[in-house]
Structure 1
Amino acid sequence: MKRLTSFLLCAMLCLAAGSALAAEGDEAAAEAAAGKWLALCDAGKYPESWREASAFFRGAITEDAWTKALTGIRTPLGPNKSRVRASIIQARQLPGAPDGAYVVLTYDSAFANKASAVETVTFMQEKDGSWRVAGYFIK
């Protein structure tokens, strides 16, 4: 199950060649949403992070499976010590996901038990214009 979860999340993050990109304001909105969503994860509020995710994300993994997967991944790392955005990429297409507006953010992060990690968070714009997480990967 852990491997399937990792595969699903990783697949959602792989970029395909994008055509038209999101507007600069959308990029800022996605980054702000990422900060709020990552704060939920940092606080151990994994069920809430699932509920705040996109419909696409919630359709790919159940709340219980997400909570178990994130607990298994994040708990050994310990508390987040720092997080600095390393890159931001916009796309219209991602493998295995519907066409739409996506923003993929990578962060250079440090945790109490892992001095150097890279977190990748993919956000998609929902029909109501809000930005919600579509994928999360940490290595």
Structure 2
Amino acid sequence: MRARPLSPHLTIWKWGPHMLVSILHRATGSGMATVGAALLVWWLAAAAAGDAAYAAFVDLFTVDAGGLNIAGYVVGIGLTLAFFQHMASGMRHLVLDIGAGYELKRNKLGAILTMVFSVLATAAFWAFITMGR
């Protein structure tokens, strides 16, 4: 009996930014959907449970005299970073879908730029949000 050919796997392929961006695109999409759904259910449950539960939810994600709760920052910055990474990667895929950007150097540069853009856009967004405090 002839041996079947093996599928390529991570020990054969050379790791590159394009692979990371592909994985990040899937992870950020799934992560935003999961966290968004969990926050929506939590918000609805808190609203249905009464004033005290709703106030506890709102306190986690709003600014008061003491500032924003650290958990609110972690969730907010994480979702913002995921959003910008997913958006940039989606734009990269749009360019690839029209048949451009498949050259190795351009593909690698495009992948790196999505990650750079997401970090810079997140930093700029949160600098704007927190400006004036």
Q: TM exceeds 0.5? A: no
Q: Give 1 or 2 for the bigger CA radius of gyration.
A: 2
